[in-house]
Each structure stands twice: as C-alpha cells, then as structure tokens.
Amino acid sequence: MLTAKGRLAGVIGWPVGHSRSPQLHGHWLARHGIDGAYVPLAVAPDRLEAALRGLPALGFRGCNVTVPHKEAAMALVDELDPLARRIAAVNTIVVREDGSLFGTNTDGFGFLANLQAGAPAWSAGQGPAVVIGAGGASRAIIVALTDAGAPEIRLANRTRARAEKLAAELGGPITVIDWADRAAALDGAALLVNTTTEGMQGHAALDLPLDALPRAALVNDIVYVPLETPLLAAARARGHQVVDGIGMLLHQARPGFEAWFGVAPAVDAALRAAVLGPG
C-alpha cells in the first residue's frame, strides 16, 4: 500500500540485488498496514553523494547503506553518531525534519539483541568472549561487547596484523590471540562468535576444535547461509547453547524501521520465514 503521502525508505548498495532488507522491511510494512515502501536502490560509488543528498528532496525518511558504501557514507552525513564513528561504518541514515542526514550504525545493536533474544540467560559481563575474525562485522561486535561490559575479548584473526590494528583503534579489554592459538583461547570463555566467512555456503568450515570451550559457553555464528553452520552443528553436538546468525540481520533493522515508519517492529518466526524464503 503506497499513496502519494506514503513514507519512503530503501537500501543503497552496489550491487544491491543480494540485499534481504527489502523483504525484511516489506514484511513489517505489510504487517502493520503502513502507507509506505522500502526499495532497493542501486547506486554506484561515484553517485553516492548525489544519491544521499537527493533523499530529502525525494521525500525519503532515510535509508540503509550497504556494501560498498558503509565507510564512504560516514563523510557524507551531516551528523555522525559517535557509535558509527567507533564502528567506522554507517548502515542506517535518518532524514531529519530540516532535511539533514543523521548517520548511525545498528549492527552492534542487532548482534546483542539477537543474543539476548536467543539466550536470555547470557550476559556480556559474565565472562570472556572469543571473537574469530577482524573484518567489518567483527568491529561492530567488539564495540557492542565492550559497551555491554565484556570483561575480556579474545580476538583471533588469520591475519594477525589486522587484529592488532583493530585492538589498537578500539582500545578496551581486547587481547589479540595468535591464529595458531585460537583453539586454546577457548579455555574459560563464556561466548564464542564467528565473524569470518568460514562456514558460509561455498566456503570451508571454520577450522576450530572446540575441546577447550566450557560446556556453559554460548556459541554464535554471524553466518546465516546456511542457518546451521558446521560450527553451530559441532557446538550443538557438544551440548552448547547456540544462536544462529539471521537474528543479527533482523534485529539490526529495527531502529531504522522505527525511525522511518514510526512503529517498533517485532522479530519473530514469520519475519524469519519472510526473509529466509521457502526452504
């Protein structure tokens, strides 16, 4: 349902066809009977500034920003949320009443909300977290865990220098672990998170023996294709509580939807089905 007065938002990417955000927001718009639309917007890197500047003129309430624009968008918004600056990426833009652009990042929120929904008894403060991978997703997750009170974050990345750089930039309770020592670093951990692409369809499984991980530790993979990654299957077989990765995508969308469309949406099984599609 969309009239001339309808609220507009969308996702800007290049390419943008892979984004599941249109299904996600489309499901919420339909569920709440909102006069609005959420559209995929294919914008080449050299047109990003023009596209963002055009949002208020087109009546857009805001947008999501995805690959490859998340870093470039930081310099193009009128006000940057300090959280987005620390994460070094913008994924959500809100057009204010005066037409100015506010850029924020909801990935860390989505990560934590997914864990809280899937494992209500877990809290960041209860013990060390082991984070595998030091890319963009890892950065948002480390910021979120730090702010939520994690006492220690053990960061292991195949390319150690990248982990060192992240730790130096972010500060906080990060211990860089050598890739060769990643399995031993699971000793005493309360949380294990895979932020690498390993385990994704078409990739090898993450090479990480879980023997040293305490049974009480929670295991999360941010990969969600497939939902049950080899890591999660192995953890489940050892008796760990596991949380899959699709919820991070679903929960990170909540703040944007609420800002643009004025309704706080729910993450539930129907939304998961809408985003994951048949099968």
Site residues for ligand ATR per CB under 6 A: 133-138, 157-159, 162, 195-198
The reply to whether 134 sits in an annotated binding site is yes
d(CA 109, CA 83): 10
**Residues 175, 120: Cα–Cα separation, whole Å:** 26
Q: Which residue number, 29 or 185, has a Cβ lying nearer to ligand ATR?
A: 185
- Nearest distance in Å: CB 30, ligand ATR: 29
Is 252 marked within a binding site?
Answer: yes
Smallest distance, ligand ATR to C-beta of residue 67, A: 8
Task: Determine which one of 61, 69, 70, 182 is catalytic.
Answer: 70
* Residue 234 assigned ligand-binding role: no
Q: What are phi and psi of 41, to 5 degrees?
A: -125, 105
Is 112:148 a contact under the CB 8 Å cutoff? Answer: yes
- Is 165 one of the annotated active-site residues of the chain? no
- Residue 19 marked as a ligand binder: yes
Nearest to ligand ATR of 24, 137 (CB atom)? 137
| For ligand ATR, the closer CB: 136 or 172 | 136
C-alpha to C-alpha distances, 93 to 100, 104, 186, nearest whole angstrom: 10, 6, 37
Residue burial 60-89, b: 16+ Cβ < 10 Å; e: rest: bbbbbbbeebbeebbebbeebbebbebbbb
Beta carbons of 117 and 138 less than 8 angstroms apart = no
Q: Which residues are catalytic?
A: 70
Cite the annotated binding site for shikimate by residue number: 19-21, 66, 91, 107, 224, 252
Cite the annotated binding site for NADP(+) by residue number: 133-137, 157-162, 222, 245
